[in-house]
Amino acid sequence: MELRQLQYFVAVVEEAGFTRAAARLHVAQPGVSAQIRQLERELGQPLLDRSGRSVTTTEVGRTVLTHARAALAAVEEIRQTVDDFSGLLRGRVRVGLVSGAGTRRFDLASLLADFHDAHPQVEISLAEATSERMLAALQAGALDIALIGLADEQPPAGISCQVVVDAPLVAGVAPDDPLLAERADRSSVPLAALRERPLISLPRGTGLRGVLERACTQAGFRPRIAFEASVLQVLARLAARGLGVAVIPALPTDEASAAGLRMLEITGPGLRGRVALAWRTEGPAGPAARALLGRLRTGLPVPGGRGGPPAGPRTGNARTAAAGGPDHQAAGA
């Protein structure tokens, strides 16, 4: 009996056919059939029922399948153990990103590229989605690591976070907006004053939108969302043209002036947008994902600081991270 035979057997069962299994294994279909027939001869029992339109396991095959999977997993564990001793990482890491995650404040692309240079046998896949979807993917094991926008004070159960951006949210308006004419203090606006105004926000499912909707609900009204966009700069431009009030992280003064946008601090209550590195509390499953998580925790900034905490097995959450300086391009996405 060879490991290759067990690998072929598991692939045929999972793909419900020899042709799809051969394509998955990148081998010729007759070779797969021959190896499994040899395995059946060695064991003296048929493992697969080939009589239907799709291939299924026999009663014996179902029992053998459990042991075959365990044997292959054990071999993979041996390989990973040897790789750990030799300093070689291999495998695949699935990373989720909020829109605007690669900002001037932290160059995520360079962090990933440096990690790939150090560990060229690790494949990194990137996917962009809303924070809500990425949290669900983390919990389901479909993602290993994600940069998400936080809508709540604490992450969901089973998820740990390290906050990398903590920025105040402001009301961005055109220079002739009534909010400016109505107030003697042109630097702030109470949340209640936005009750009847058309608002411009990130889409539902993002951290910033969650913060806005929760605050409005607590204030006794539903926000009137007139425009949605996934890029914060687009929200700012829409507001500057008088199409509504953009609820966004505070822009640098020169950028706001160049866009023709006036910013008012939102008060009663003040709102904040936060972006965090998130992972399952028990840690990513594979050594490659654990190594990348450690690299990102070290390389990404913490609010008010220049870099993240030392990499290690400990996990954090949204409340224990420091609060401070803004990153207008990513906060709350």
Q: Is the pLDDT of residue 6 over 60?
A: yes
- Model-level pTM? 0.64
Segment 41-49 long-range contacts (CB within 8 Å, at least 24 positions apart): 42/1, 43/1, 47/9, 48/9, 48/12, 48/13
Percentage of the chain exceeding pLDDT 70: 86
Percentage of the chain exceeding pLDDT 90: 45
Least reliable range by pLDDT among 66-75, 135-144, 222-231, 282-291: 282-291
Nearest to 130 by CA among 37, 202, 64: 202
194: left (phi over 0), alpha (psi -120 to 50) or beta: alpha
Band the pLDDT of 163: cuts 50, 70, 90: very high
Mean pLDDT of 75-90: 71
For residue 67 the two structure tokens come to 């042991």
Q: With beta carbons less than 8 A apart as the criterion, state whether 69 and 10 touch.
A: yes
- pLDDT of 85: 63
| The domain made up of 168-272 is a member of CATH 3.40.190.10 | yes
How do the domains of the chain map onto residue ranges?
3-86, 91-165+275-299, 168-272
**Which of the following CATH numbers is that of domain 3-86: 2.60.40.2140, 2.60.40.420, 3.40.50.300, 1.10.10.10?**
1.10.10.10
Helices (H), 184-231: 207-218
Rounded to 5 degrees, what are φ and ψ at 213? Answer: -65, -40
**Which of the following CATH numbers is that of domain 91-165+275-299: 3.30.2010.10, 3.30.9.10, 3.30.70.141, 3.40.190.10?**
3.40.190.10
Name which residue leads in pLDDT, 82 or 154.
Answer: 154
Tokens 């059939």 appear where?
33
Residue 38 CB-half CA count within 13 A = 13
pLDDT, tens digit, for every residue of 18-48? 998 898 888 999 999 999 999 999 999 999 9
Contacts of 241 (CB under 8 A, 6+ apart): 174
Same topology between domain 91-165+275-299 and domain 168-272: yes
Mean pLDDT of 233-253: 91
Q: Hey, which of 41-50, 82-91, 323-332 has the most confident mean pLDDT? A: 41-50
Q: Strands, E, within 41-187: which ranges? A: 48-49, 56-57, 91-97, 122-128, 145-150, 159-173
- pLDDT of 46: 92
Give the other-Cβ count within 10 Å of 313's Cβ: 7
Q: Is the pLDDT of residue 309 over 50?
A: no
Give the other-Cβ count within 10 Å of 208's Cβ: 31
Band the pLDDT of 312: cuts 50, 70, 90: very low
What gap in Å lies between CA 131 and CA 151, rounded to an integer? 9
Band the pLDDT of 308: cuts 50, 70, 90: very low
Q: How many residues does the chain have?
A: 333
Give the other-Cβ count within 10 Å of 123's Cβ: 13
Band the pLDDT of 100: cuts 50, 70, 90: low
